[in-house]
Structure 1
Amino acid sequence: MHHIRTSRPNRRSAGTAPALLSLLALVTGGLLAAAPSASAQQAGDPASNVKQLCATQAQPGMMHCLALERTDVKQHRGITADAAPSGLGPADLQKAYNLPAGGGSGATVAIVDAQDDPSAESDLATYRSQYGLPACTTANGCFQKTDQNGGTNYPKADAGWAGEISLDVDMVSAACPQCHILLVEANSANMDDLGAAVNRAVAMGAKYVSNSYGGGEDTGDTAADTQYFNHPGVAITVSSGDNGYGVEYPASSPYVTAVGGTSLKQDGSTRGWSESVWGSSGGGEGAGSGCSAYETKPSWQKDTGCAKRAVADVAAVADPATGVAVYDSYQASGWNVYGGTSASSPIIAGVYALAGAPGANSTPSSFPYAHTSALNDVTSGANGSCSPAYLCTAGSGYDGPTGLGTPNGTAAFTG
């Protein structure tokens, strides 16, 4: 039976009234370098200068994008020849996560978002040109944009979701520069439309599908799992959320890889980088985590303090204070610094693509659990207070906000 989720037909556009977040949980200062050699411009105190791109949706079945934008960064348009944009760039992420610069040729990573970004392809071209990445265009077969039905009847444009789309395609580009990108735009932020877009991406051949959105759990989630996310042999990544301790859907689906978030800083260690949970022990904003109210625990998940599905599985950078460079010119000012677990999900989708195509009947979300030594274990920080504590506080081994850890190469993402 077709599962219908309830929603108001005349919902407010998610991008017209983005809420200002106070992000008191952010305790790191300044931005890191975006380019391989240039230093990023420092830009004020990040703690109170971040905004949500998409308004939170309270209705069951309605999702909101999880991108966060810095408001204290000097913005500009176009290619910057003599100064790097603020925020982490592709070389930074490749070094931090030990990723090959030349992998992923022939792989297609799908991005599923709601609404339309009319500037998606041209903004992607600016981002890739800035960082010396190969062109990814419709003309050369690298980039494709489609609606949820596989056509070109794109939904209404929306500034908030356009920023999310820019973040997503830029992060796939950064993690996997040789990957093809398929952008599937859902008619609305209703889970049924977004789920139809996931199914469309898989039907069009994508073996890696990133979803940077979420909403509150409800009793219809298990039906949505079967309809939209049960795709053996396809790595589906989902952002864990940006509101600290607490579970969102579809990150809680047992068929997806739930991606938490970290603060990522350059340091003098052998790795050259250090990571902690994006969040604060005092509560507030940060990577989503916790124990699902409805979803069955997957057989490969062995933590003992949560009888149902625990979130997250793995993580990547999400803290806006150590955020990533993004180019978005649709009703925006061009270069900016973005964060949120909206950044971490497409990064992990790109890492899956670098690792190679999953087996036809495999469960890619289980792969990291069989290769924990190939991850950077995050052992410090918290996204709130909870019991048992590991669901919100980092420690050795598995924890809620960062799962098993962050990529150290691609071995943890193979079957």
Structure 2
Amino acid sequence: MRTTPPARPAAPGRWRRIGSAAAATAALLLAGFGTATHADAAAPSSSKVTWTSACSTPAKGQMACKALRVTGGITAFQQAKAKADGVTPKAADAATPSGYGPSDLQSAYGLTSAAASKGSGETIAIVDAYDDPNAEADLAKYRSYYGLSACTTANGCFKKVSQTGSTTSLPSANTGWAEEISLDLDMASAICPNCGILLVEAKSATMANLGTAVNEAVTLGAKYVSNSYGGSESSSDTSYDSSYFNHPGVAITVSAGDSGYGAEYPAASKYVTAVGGTALSKATSTTRGWTETVWKTSSTEGTGSGCSAYDAKPTWQTDTGCTKRTISDVAAVADPATGVSVYDSYGVTAGWYTFGGTSASSPIIAGVYALAGTPSSSSYPAKFPYTVAGTSALNDVTSGNNGTCSTTYLCTAQSGYDGPTGWGTPEGVSAFAG
């Protein structure tokens, strides 16, 4: 039964828009995108894709969730489907999915066979703030629609706990973070359908509480921990590193941010895999069948990247533009206009929604790590994509930018490593295996 949510907090963010096809093309050219590679995602002149932040503006000292919910217009998924079906696409509504589903994401990232055969016995932990009372029920709707096996408390696949590990004394509910939770659970399911899922809910969005939830996830046995939140860096970050994120043998993924060029924490932690974001479109002209560019909507919205002001550079990161930690390491889809389908019933009217933001890319990459297999107990999985075997098993994103910067590769895609997308996006699981 659906739980009635409390009154929704005032929406904090600005509405985001992508204009007509012509305007979109011009914007892409100005931003450095290639029109041929992004053509499949361009909206028809009669439609604008709009979206808003799921979570309210955080109080000082708290982390912001990175989920962006599409509120109107025709997504890239709907356009591609309409083109295949030969029908005029309709604007997004909650009746049917309007974003990429599991088969799309598995196809785009070369995971189809791995998703079908791997992940059994592995547990992906999702760390978020506050409680989503409908988390398990909404996850069941998503998995049932897409033909994925049931993942429930009863069959041992799903577990929801507080930051102290309690299954009964849970945090207060929050509509915005509930949307974030739905997005995270659905993406973990989409990439690794055979994996178990552990949802750890922090009692608030402070780094101390979220970090405690990370520790609890590891204590409960998760080897893959996704974190779809972030905030400004501070001089306390190095202490947070040692207190919450230094977990050898555990793949910890973190959203790189949604505010364009600039570093955030905990993506800046040297112990985590910082995950940037792309615009993902179907492309019949490529062997892969997909194409990606750096996600950028405006000068203040797009994937995060940049140099940490506090965190030391990990030994495996050798780029010279940052004396300290460079963000990002890898990337996956995050552009809401080329977003993913999510089922949610607590934050909004029950139904299907399209989400974007690097909140989508973090659990996607956590799922890929899970498909790749358990890391060795002494390893730091953030290093895996930096090996020769890793860099050769990624889709190199070479087009687009997320802003302006004095050292070009930190904000503009290029061959090989760059800030917005790291070494690239998954092409199978090899880059994420120890």
TM-score (norm 2): 0.85
For the 8 Å contact 1:377–1:406, the answer to whether it is kept is yes
Give % identity. 63
| Alignment partner of 1:386 out of 402, 405, 408 | 405
Q: Distance in 2 between matches of 1:318 and 1:325?
A: 12
| CA gap 1:289/1:306 in 2 versus in 1, 3 angstroms | same
Q: Distance in 2 between matches of 1:63 and 1:177?
A: 29
| Alignment partner of 1:86 out of 98, 110, 134 | 98
Tell me by how many angstroms 1:57 deviates. Answer: 2.9
Instruction: Answer yes or no: is 1:164 the counterpart of 2:212.
Output: no
| CA gap 1:127/1:247 in 2 versus in 1, 3 angstroms | same
One-letter code aligned to 1:21: W
Tell me by how many angstroms 1:19 deviates. Answer: 1.8
1:101 counterpart residue number: 115
For the 8 Å contact 1:208–1:236, the answer to whether it is kept is yes
For the 8 Å contact 2:393–2:428, the answer to whether it is kept is yes
Q: Distance in 1 between matches of 2:287 and 2:218?
A: 39
For the 8 Å contact 2:261–2:411, the answer to whether it is kept is yes
For the 8 Å contact 1:31–1:86, the answer to whether it is kept is no
Tell me by how many angstroms 1:42 deviates. Answer: 11
Q: Distance in 1 between matches of 2:296 and 2:243?
A: 33
Q: Secondary structure at 1:296's aligned position in 2? A: coil
One-letter code aligned to 2:348: A
Deviates more, 1:68-77 or 1:260-269: 68-77
One-letter code aligned to 2:13: A
Q: Distance in 2 between matches of 1:340 and 1:90?
A: 17
2:218 counterpart residue number: 202
Tell me by how many angstroms 1:369 deviates. Answer: 0.2
| Alignment partner of 2:163 out of 148, 153, 171 | 148
For the 8 Å contact 2:11–2:53, the answer to whether it is kept is no
Instruction: Answer yes or no: is 1:236 the counterpart of 2:252.
Output: yes
Instruction: Answer yes or no: is 1:339 the counterpart of 2:340.
Output: no
One-letter code aligned to 1:45: K
One-letter code aligned to 1:51: T
Q: Distance in 2 between matches of 1:197 and 1:43?
A: 45
1:75 counterpart residue number: 93
2:47 counterpart residue number: 44
| CA gap 1:291/1:50 in 2 versus in 1, 3 angstroms | same
Instruction: Answer yes or no: is 1:22 the counterpart of 2:22.
Output: no
Tell me by how many angstroms 1:50 deviates. Answer: 1.0
For the 8 Å contact 1:30–1:45, the answer to whether it is kept is no
| Alignment partner of 2:294 out of 277, 283, 306 | 277
For the 8 Å contact 2:230–2:257, the answer to whether it is kept is yes
Q: Distance in 2 between matches of 1:407 and 1:154?
A: 35
| CA gap 1:43/1:369 in 2 versus in 1, 3 angstroms | farther
Per-residue CA distance 1:45-82 (angstroms, 9 max, x = gap): 12xx110111333623x1010000001053335xx5xx
For the 8 Å contact 1:15–1:53, the answer to whether it is kept is no
Instruction: Answer yes or no: is 1:362 the counterpart of 2:379.
Output: yes
Instruction: Answer yes or no: is 1:327 the counterpart of 2:330.
Output: no
Q: Distance in 1 between matches of 2:426 and 2:231?
A: 26
One-letter code aligned to 2:54: L
Q: CA RMSD in A?
A: 2.1
Structure that is richer in helix per residue: 2
2:88 counterpart residue number: none
Q: Distance in 1 between matches of 2:8 and 2:65?
A: 8
For structure 2, the 5+ residue unaligned runs are 1-6, 19-23, 29-37, 73-90
For structure 1, the 5+ residue unaligned runs are 1-12, 33-40
For the 8 Å contact 2:109–2:428, the answer to whether it is kept is yes
| CA gap 1:44/1:374 in 2 versus in 1, 3 angstroms | same
Q: Secondary structure at 2:309's aligned position in 1? A: strand
Q: Distance in 1 between matches of 2:318 and 2:266?
A: 20
Instruction: Answer yes or no: is 1:214 the counterpart of 2:226.
Output: no
Per-residue CA distance 1:151-208 (angstroms, 9 max, x = gap): 0211111110000000000000000000000000000000000000000000000000
Q: Secondary structure at 2:392's aligned position in 1? A: helix
TM-score (norm 1): 0.89
Tell me by how many angstroms 1:329 deviates. Answer: 0.6
Tell me by how many angstroms 1:15 deviates. Answer: 5.0
Per-residue CA distance 1:209-262 (angstroms, 9 max, x = gap): 000000000100000000000000000000000000001100000000000000
Tell me by how many angstroms 1:385 deviates. Answer: 0.4
